Structure 1
Amino acid sequence: MPQLVDGKWVRGDVAASEMKDGAFHREPTRFHNWITPDGRAGPDGQPALMAEAGRYRLFVSYLCPWASRTIAMRNLKGLEAVVGLTASNPILGEDGWTYDQPVDAGARVGEIRYHHQLYTASDPHYTGKVSVPVLWDMEEGRIVNNESADIIRILNSAFDHLTGKRLDFYPAALRAEIDRWNEPVYARVNNGVYRAGFAKTQAAYDEAVSGLFDMLDELERHLAAHRYLAGAHLTEADIRLFVTLIRFDAAYHGVFKCNIRRIEDYPSLSNYVREIYQWPGIRESVRIDHIKRGYYGIRHVNPTGIVAAGPVLDLDRPHDRHRLRGLGVFGS
């Protein structure tokens, strides 16, 4: 796929670093600064900026599960009036992520049409993949962070003093359990669908799809007895899993050949997806039309670009999760 090379946009399949022996390996993100209430360093000593209403903006795609994590967290935390949001066109083409109309990136940068302009504004010699989401500083005209796992934790705590909303999706009492789930869910589910879909050898595909469905089977067993991944409380672990599951039947099952089973074939997982989708603020983070157009528009896995008509998803159908003990969110 195209990428930046020394600050220049290069079309064509130049991101070869993500493929090794026919297997897909995700390129690490590069921007890892933080936002804190008072501008003090982040949790691991990262340089940080002060939380201010209206200063920061999320640049996202509704296609992308990594970006959707951040949209969901922004909504759950009630940050719509505090942190701005700009969504790209769902089709990832030769110009990368693009915006249908010029969008304001702040006085120092001005209007942009291409997502890669945010990267070169932050580093004129940037080389590498240009990804969403981006947490952007409108005042300084630079990327604060482009790692979704970091961004959801920033949104979880940095702006609480501005909103008074104390919901905590990474509470200290559950962090060990949340982290225990995050690691295998990322490796075998979140990234596993991409490893299956982008595989260029049968062996790489077989390994990825086997690991993916083994993990889905394990999740089904766990969620048959537990309301959420970490127990009785909805946490970031659930949001991180949900964004892949909500795309599964609509896109990954067909486009990425993750077709041993559908999520709809798992009673606990399918009810779990519907419950989280029906949480206030979550349905607004999901655009099935963008998801289908975007994934079916990836030409190296679907050369015709034809978008499948189905499946029909009834995400508002009642779920059965009330049978399990649930305590909502910490701080609610």
Structure 2
Amino acid sequence: MGATQSTTETFEREPVEVTERITADGSSRWPVEPGRYRLIAARACPWANRAVIVRRLLGLEPVISMGIAGPLHDERSWRFHLDPDNRDPVLGIEYLGEAYRKADPDYAAGITVPAMVEIASGRVVTNDYAQLTLDFSSQWRAFHRAGAPDLYPDAHRGEIDEINEQVFHDVNNGVYKAGFAKGQAAYEKAYQALFERLDALSERLASRRYLVGDTITEADIRLWVTLVRFDAAYHGHFACNRHKLTEMPVLWAYARDLFQTPGFGDTIDFAQIKQHYYGVHTEINPTGIVPVGPEVTNWLTPHGREQLGGHPFGDGTPPGPPPVGEAVPPLGA
């Protein structure tokens, strides 16, 4: 996603503007169809990271291709500066905004990732990050890999939705509310809500391996994408500095457990994460200096969470290695 700001003291995230859905039942004008759409993501962005993880876990890589916007962008939007000729090799565009304006020549709202783009027309179909991963689980079910997990099981949807709502306001968006606050009171309110929620999550996860049930669900994915960026970006850059993740024993072990689970850590590029936050948010970091630290190889240390039981993929199996061209650099590279 791209951070959007209000003119008040409190950070307010603009709503997504392209909220059509890709469905299997004919309820929208965009049908589920292998090879028709391209997921545009960015390694830096937590909101896009959610879609990348779900696509990996469900094995949708053969039917939904993926383009990666680089960590740096300007007022013209996310750009493909890591690709040859600075253009997405499938869509042929330099800036993601070009695909938004293919959908609406007068589009003036946020140009965000993740976005699903129809390849033939080059137009954005949806940037509804909250609904997108749920639709990967439900609407694209016919194309899930054998052994794909159920990330949004019917029996637990109410509980998952409740946790997701809390995590969104206080954690996922909470770090942004702290980092982009324009006044001390707004910052302190967001800071307090963030760490109160992290404390509650620590208590919940002290006796259970995953947030809901005994398998990985959508709730774990949504929390984890913020945790994995916490020490690299939010602790220092966004002044969320009561504790580092590595100083919160339960959440640190939980985050390492998922990092070491196929489909999670193999989507993370810490260098791009830092390049984005420290290089783009010039109002917070005007020098553009990107920190060298923190140490990241500690993500591979033992976590001990297996003793809590649980089965990461339920009755299913882990995904295979990332497709050619989608692998991230090894830790410490």
- Which of residues 5, 18, 24 in structure 1 aligns to 2:11? 24
Q: 1:57 to 1:191 in 2, by over 3 A?
A: same
AA in 2 matched with 1:215: R
Question: What does residue 153 of structure 1 align with?
Answer: 134
Q: Residue 270 of structure 2: which of 261, 272, 288 is its match?
A: 288
SS at match of 1:31: coil
Q: What is the TM-score with the length of structure 2 in the denominator?
A: 0.88
Correspondence for 1:230: 212
1:105·1:141 contact (CA, 8 Å) conserved in 2? no
Asked if the contact 2:232/2:274 (under 8 Å) is kept, the reply is: yes
Matched, 1:214 2:196: yes
Q: Which residue of 1 aligns with 2:323?
A: none
Comparing 193-202 with 47-56, greater Cα deviation is found at: 47-56
- The alignment partner of 2:100 has SS state of helix
Deviations 1:32-54 (A, max 9, x none): 222233x422xxxxx25222221
Q: Contact 2:96–2:111 (CA<8 Å) still a contact in 1?
A: yes
2:299 is the alignment partner of 1:315: yes
Code of the aligned partner of 1:178: I
**RMSD over aligned Cα atoms:** 1.8
The aligned residue for residue 273 of structure 1 is 255
SS of the equivalent of 1:152 reads helix
Asked if the contact 1:88–1:98 (Cα under 8 Å) also holds between the matched residues in 2, the reply is yes
Aligned position for 1:12: none
Aligned to 2:320: none
Structure 1 138/318 Cα, relative in aligned 2: closer, same or farther at 3 Å?
same
> Scaled by the length of structure 1, what TM-score is found?
0.88
More strand by share: 1
The residue aligned with 1:143 is 124
Instruction: Report the number of matched residues.
Output: 308
| Equivalent residue, structure 1, for 2:53 | 72
Which SS does the other structure have where 1:59 is aligned? Answer: strand
Inter-partner Cα distance in structure 2 for 1:113 and 1:103: 7
Cα distance change, pair 211–170 in 1 and its aligned pair in 2 (3 A): same
The CA deviation string for residues 84-136 of structure 1, in whole angstroms up to 9 with x for no partner, is 11111101323321112222555xxxx21011111100111112111111011
Structure 1 partner of 2:236? 254
Distance 1:241 1:159, change over 3 A: same
Aligned counterpart in structure 2 of residue 53 of structure 1, from 7, 27, 34: 34
Detail structure 1 runs of 4+ shifted over 4 Å in the superposition. Answer: none
Task: Confirm whether residue 115 of structure 1 aligns to residue 79 of structure 2.
Answer: no
Please, which runs of 5 or more residues in structure 2 have no aligned partner? Answer: 317-333
2:319 aligned residue: none
Q: Identity over aligned residues, as a percent?
A: 40
Aligned residue for 1:23, secondary structure, equals: coil
- Give the alignment partner of residue 325 of structure 1, picking from 300, 304, 309: 309
Opposite residue 9 of structure 2, the aligned amino acid is G
2:65 alignment partner, one of 56, 67, 84: 84
* Residue type of the alignment partner of 1:23: T
Aligned letter for 1:324?
L
Cα offset, 1:239, TM superposition: 0.2
Call closer, same or farther: CA 1:181–1:48 in 2, change over 3 Å.
farther
